[in-house]
Amino acid sequence: MADGMRIIGEFVRTLPRKSGVYRMIGGDGEVLYVGKARSLRSRVAAYTQPTRLDNRLVRMVSATRTMEFSITGSEAEALLLENNLIKRFRPRFNVLLRDDKSFPYIVIRKDTEWPQLAKHRGARDPANEYFGPFASATAVNRTLYALQRAFPLRSCSDGVFATRTRPCLQYQIKRCTAPCVGRIDKAEYGAIVDEVRGFLGGRNREVQQALSQRMDKASADLEFEGAAVLRDRIRALAHIQSHQSIALPSIDEADIFAAHGEGGQVCVQVFFLRAGQNLGNRAYFPAHVRELDESAVLSAFIGQFYESRPAPKLILTSHDVAERELLESALALTAQHKVEIRHPKRGDQKDALDQATLNAREALARRMAERGTQRQLLEGVARLFGLDGPPERIEIYDNSHIQGSAPIGAMVVAGPDGFIKNSYRKFNIKTEGAAGDDFAMMREVLTRRFGRALREDPERAEEHWPDLVLIDGGQGQLEVARQVLVELGLEDIATVGIAKGPDRDAGRERFFVPGKPPFSLEPRDPVLYFLQRLRDEAHRFAIGTHRARRAADITRSALDEVPGIGSGRKRALLHHFGSARAVAVATLEDIKAVPGISGALAQKIHDHFRGGR
């Protein structure tokens, strides 16, 4: 503690009284904490006063061996930079948002002659219209399914649309109006597009009323088939709205953040409200130190949540957020519109927050129960294999190939919170002669994985070292794994082989542990089920990766090997000649005739397929 305070005190003397961001760094170069300050000198000086520090800060100061600083133009800019650095370095003394995946949207594609209704994730094209975000792919798929029943727009890709000569099944089941073959004119199709835009834009009552009036008129005119179609469309829209557990029709755009803490853990439920409709919710369990309460966790969480996405105009929170005005200013800088953070005390907004908080409480209870069960299973694994304690990180390895083609090695990772998917790794087998040889493939995978780990962390100080290595295979694969670890000086890592029993029946697996005879578990043993899930996940990941590589190999063209040929020129050549083989036998003059192919590039293509002759 004294060393840490002395080091920090030396920096204080030279710090300016300006806003900025500071980083506390440990002896091994690990970023321990990232913080922002209105006055760097005053804020950092506070860490040299031990009587004002809680246990968390005492631990942090004790581990600090150096600091780094960044000056910013304002405190709001400092807050934005702080959240960016937290996402980059993931310091263990900060509140960490573990899941920052992008959210899906529904898009009306207007960059085509016949607009398309589809799901979208990623960068957005200003020419199209986007509605969302939705909390999950499940939420957007459910909404899309109902929308396609209510508004029969095309959902097929441009390639399929352009090649249709007769209506597809979607037309037969009344999910599409078949514009590909002229079964609807542009004016009528455009009216349906306007209805979708109105419904997603918040005018759902107007759209439903208009459909009801058209249904009544069709019925009065004895057009019962048309009336039945309109009736089904109205039911589909009602189905979408029936999932609204939280809805605030008076609010055009808002996100709801509700936090609940218990047992040193906090759950944050995020609900997305757009055009008065609830687009789903997602539960987050940010990593944080136990001393922080819900308000502090929520404040840090919101800043990181919007680090890479624009904030809506209104944010409702279940707790008062620290430095609310500063957070509003920082979010407004990135969103380019005014952002208000509100903690309502009464009314519909308070009722919606109470409902969201109830969701957070129940999600945390489920997670704590699951973690308790997971911890019991890990304790069972430790007893089974004689480990010192429940493993915090289990790595499972498997290989996949078909007669040596597209050979792939795969690693999946599991821990107390389940599978850690951002730690999964795939290995394209590179060793000559290893493809098809399971032992040689396993040797390459483990050598590359642990060889790199030793180079990056020779002291084994980080948490990315396994407590248990599980090999999908029998005695042979286990021996190869042990040889690799011994050669690298890592023989202390527990290694186990798991092989399917007679006739490859699940439930009759045999386990291979160094120095012990193979053994099996009782068919209904919960630890057996747990180990089966680990092995099956590795198998699933390996097979999926192998199939993706094999599909890429199949679609790879001989044109991909020609220097200077990108996707656009490749497409132009294939459109002109029909195939890569036809390009290979084409004359120089024919290649020059292709739009976008210069004389020099045509010569290069011509020479490539003739070995330079």
Map out the domains of the chain as residue ranges.
2-89, 105-241, 253-365, 394-553, 558-608
Say which CATH topology domain 2-89 has: GIY-YIG endonuclease (3.40.1440)
Half-sphere exposure of 188 (CA within 13 A, CB side): 9
Specify the pLDDT at position 414.
93
Half-sphere exposure of 89 (CA within 13 A, CB side): 22
The whole-angstrom separation of Cα 128 and Cα 109 is 5
Q: Which candidate, 263, 258, 230, 228, places its Cα nearest to that of 245?
A: 258
Say which CATH topology domain 253-365 has: Nucleotidyltransferase; domain 5 (3.30.420)
Specify the pLDDT at position 287.
80
The whole-angstrom separation of Cα 37 and Cα 323 is 12
Its CATH architecture, for the domain 558-608, is: Orthogonal Bundle (1.10)
Specify the pLDDT at position 611.
66
What's the pTM value of the predicted model, to 2 decimals?
0.67
Residue with tokens 């952002």: 339
Tell me whether the CATH fold assigned to 2-89 matches the one assigned to 394-553: no
Specify the pLDDT at position 483.
93
Say which CATH topology domain 394-553 has: Nucleotidyltransferase; domain 5 (3.30.420)
Q: Which candidate, 453, 459, 422, 534, places its Cα nearest to that of 96?
A: 422
Contacts with 366 (C-beta within 8 Å, 6 or more apart), sequence order:
none
From the first residue on, what is the mean pLDDT of each consecutive set of 10 residues in the chain (613 residues)? Answer: 88 91 91 93 90 84 93 92 90 80 85 87 85 83 80 85 87 87 89 83 72 80 77 70 61 89 87 82 81 86 88 93 90 91 91 91 86 87 91 92 78 90 89 79 92 82 84 92 91 91 67 91 87 92 84 64 77 78 84 86 83 56
Strands (E), 420-519: 425-428, 468-472, 494-499, 510-512
Q: DSSP readout, 43-110?
A: HHHGGG-GGG--HHHHHHHHH--EEEEEE-SSHHHHHHHHHHHHHHH--TTS-B----PPPPEEEEE-
**DSSP reduced 3-state for 275:** coil
Instruction: Return phi, psi of residue 238, to 5°.
Output: -65, -35
Specify the pLDDT at position 353.
92
Structure tokens at 48: 């040299």
β-strands 277-284, 265-274 pairing: antiparallel
